[in-house]
Structure 1
Amino acid sequence: MVPDALGLALDREEGLASEARLLSARHEGEAAEAILAAALDLYAGRIALVSSFGADSAVLLAMVADIDRSLPVIFLDTGKLFPATVAYRDRLVEALGLTGVFTRQPDAADLAAADPAGALWMADTDACCDIRKVKPLAAALQSYAAWISGRKRYQAATRAQLPLFEAADGRIKVNPLLGWDRARIEAYREARRLPPHPLVAEGYPSIGCLPCTDKVRPGEDERAGRWRGKAKTECGIHLDRPSGAVIAGI
C-alpha cells in the first residue's frame, strides 16, 4: 500500500516535532553561543539566520559572525521599512564583516495583483504581511532545513512559552536568545561595542514596517507599537499552522 501524501506529511511533522523536543532538552541551560554553534554544526550547509536588522538584531548577528561570517542571513525588504533600518543593515554588515547577507523582496507579480497602489496595509494588514513577508521568506527558506530566530520570551505575552528548538512549517526553528531580557541584551551590545538601531532612542523598542510601527508607551510590551489598535501581534512568519499546512509554496 502506497502511503498517502497527507500521511507522509503528518509523519514528517511528528518526526520534526520529536527532533525539536530532543534538541531543546539536550541544550537546555546552555549559553546562547553554544546553542548557536551546535545548531550550525548539526545543520551545516542547511541553516540560515533570518534577521530584521531591528532593535535587538546586532547581538545575534555578532554571535554568528564569531562562528561563521559567511552564514546565509536572510533580510526581508518589504518595501515599507524605515530608511533607518536599511542603513542600519548596511552598517552592521560592514562592522561585523558578514558576507552571507542577502535581501529578499516581495514578488513583483504579487504586488501588482494585490497591492498596486502600495496601500494594502491600510485595508488588510494580514494580506499585506503575507505578500511582503510570509511569501518572500517561504521562498528564501526552500533550500534550508533549519533557521535561526532572534525571538525572546520577554518581548510579549504571545512569546512567553517559546521553546529553544521548535518544528514549524517543515523545518526546525532555533531560538538561542529566548531567555534573554532587555538588560542582558544591552549589556552584551555595550560590551561588544555594537551600534544600536537609531530608532530605539526615539521610542521604538520593536521595529517593523514604517506604516505599522508606533512608539511604545512606558509599561507596555515592547511589541505594543506593532499594528497598534488592531487585533494583530505577529506578522505571520512565526504563527503556528494546522497539521499538514504549508506556507507559500513550502
Structure 2
Amino acid sequence: MADAALRKSAEECTSERAAALEAQYGHLSAEEVLKIAITEVFEGQIALVSSFGADSSVMLNMISDIAPDLPVVFLDTGKHFGETRRYGKVLEEKLGLTNVQTVLPDADRLAELDKGGFLFSTNHDLCCHIRKTEPLERALEPFAASITGRKRFQNSARDRLPVFEADGTRIKVNPLASWSFEDLVDYREQHDLPAHPLVEQGFLSIGCMPCTSPVEPGEDQRAGRWRGTGKTECGIHIKTPKGETFIRRD
C-alpha cells in the first residue's frame, strides 16, 4: 500500500508539472519546444522515441539541428518492414545522428508467449505489449521525459493531445501535436528529407508488417493500423495499471 501511495503521489506531481509546462511552453513552435525541453527543462534526462516511420524524418531533422547526440530509441519488434530498418539507417547517416539505440523484446518473454512468432494473429494487445511496451519501458527507465512525433490530426483518439503530457511518473513531449499533414509535407520538402519508401504505396502510418496496410483516400492517417480489429494504439501511448496482464485469446 505504501508503494502504491508513493507512486500515486509521484504521478500527481508529474501531472501538475506537465500542466505547468503546457501552460508555459505549449504555444511555442515545435523547434522551440524541442530546444527548451532538451537543453533546459530535461537536460540529460530526455530521449526521442522514433519508429522510423512515415513522418519520422521531420522530428529527427529537428533533433539533428539541436542535439545530434540525443538518445534516439528505436523499438525493433522483430516484425518491421525491411524498408523501415533501411530507412532508419538512411536517416541516421544523412542527419548525422550519433546515438541511435535499437531496443529488442526480451527473448525469454518471446519464448514464453510468442514462440512461433504468430501471436499478432491471435492477440494483438499481448503481442504489442511484449514487443513494444515492455522493451520501451526498460529503455526509458533512466529518463525523466521522452519525445514523441504524435499529431492531433492522426485519429480521433489524439485530437486533444497536449504538447506536454504526463505519463505515469515520466513526461512525454509532443512538439508536433498541432501540426497538420500539410505542415509535415511542407517541412520535408523545405529540408529535402527522404520519404519512407512505403509512403508512395499508400502506407501513411507504418508499424509492424503483419498489422499495417495502405490507407484509402478519406481515411484517417492511422486507419491502416490493425485494420478491422477496433485497435487504434499499440499501447506505448496508453496508460495501463502497473502489473496489468493480457489474457491470450485463442
Aligned-pair distance for 1:246?
A: 6.2
Task: Give distance in 2, aligned partners of 1:216 and 1:227.
Answer: 12
Aligned-pair distance for 1:28?
A: 2.6
Partner letter of residue 201 of structure 1?
E
Q: How many residues align?
A: 244
Q: Would you identify which runs of 4 or more consecutive aligned residues in structure 1 move more than 3 Å?
A: 245-248
Aligned-pair distance for 1:169?
A: 2.5
Match of residue 199 from structure 1:
198
Q: What SS does structure 1 have at the residue aligned with 2:149?
A: coil
Q: What SS does structure 2 have at the residue aligned with 1:173?
A: strand
Task: Give distance in 1, aligned partners of 2:142 and 2:182.
Answer: 36
Match of residue 57 from structure 1:
56
Aligned-pair distance for 1:241?
A: 2.8
Match of residue 248 from structure 2:
none
Alpha carbon RMSD of aligned pairs, Å? 1.3
Q: Deviations over 1:125-172 (max 9, x none)?
A: 101001110011011001000000000000000000101101113200
Aligned-pair distance for 1:247?
A: 7.8
Match of residue 211 from structure 2:
212
Match of residue 48 from structure 1:
47
State percent identity of aligned pairs: 51
Aligned ranges for residues 1-250 of structure 1 at < 5 Å? 4-40=2-38, 41-242=40-241, 245=242
Query: Residues 169 and 246 of structure 1 are in contact (CA less than 8 Å); yes or no, is this contact kept in structure 2?
Result: no
Q: Deviations over 1:9-52 (max 9, x none)?
A: 11111100000000001013211000001111211111000000
Aligned-pair distance for 1:5?
A: 1.7
Q: Deviations over 1:50-89 (max 9, x none)?
A: 0000000000000000001000000000000000000000
Aligned-pair distance for 1:8?
A: 1.2
Partner letter of residue 155 of structure 2?
A
Partner letter of residue 3 of structure 2?
A
Aligned-pair distance for 1:231?
A: 1.6
Task: Give distance in 1, aligned partners of 2:201 and 2:3.
Answer: 51
Aligned-pair distance for 1:7?
A: 1.7
Q: What SS does structure 1 have at the residue aligned with 2:185?
A: helix
Query: Residues 14 and 168 of structure 2 are in contact (CA less than 8 Å); yes or no, is this contact kept in structure 1?
Result: no
TM-score by length of 1: 0.95
Q: What SS does structure 2 have at the residue aligned with 1:166?
A: strand
Query: Residues 134 and 247 of structure 1 are in contact (CA less than 8 Å); yes or no, is this contact kept in structure 2?
Result: no
Partner letter of residue 203 of structure 2?
Y
Task: Give distance in 2, aligned partners of 1:26 and 1:44.
Answer: 17
Q: Deviations over 1:172-225 (max 9, x none)?
A: 000000000111101001100010001010000000000000111111101000
Query: Residues 138 and 247 of structure 1 are in contact (CA less than 8 Å); yes or no, is this contact kept in structure 2?
Result: no
Give the unaligned 5+ runs of structure 2. Answer: 246-250
Give the unaligned 5+ runs of structure 1. Answer: none
Query: Residues 55 and 206 of structure 1 are in contact (CA less than 8 Å); yes or no, is this contact kept in structure 2?
Result: yes
Q: What SS does structure 2 have at the residue aligned with 1:48?
A: strand
TM-score by length of 2: 0.95
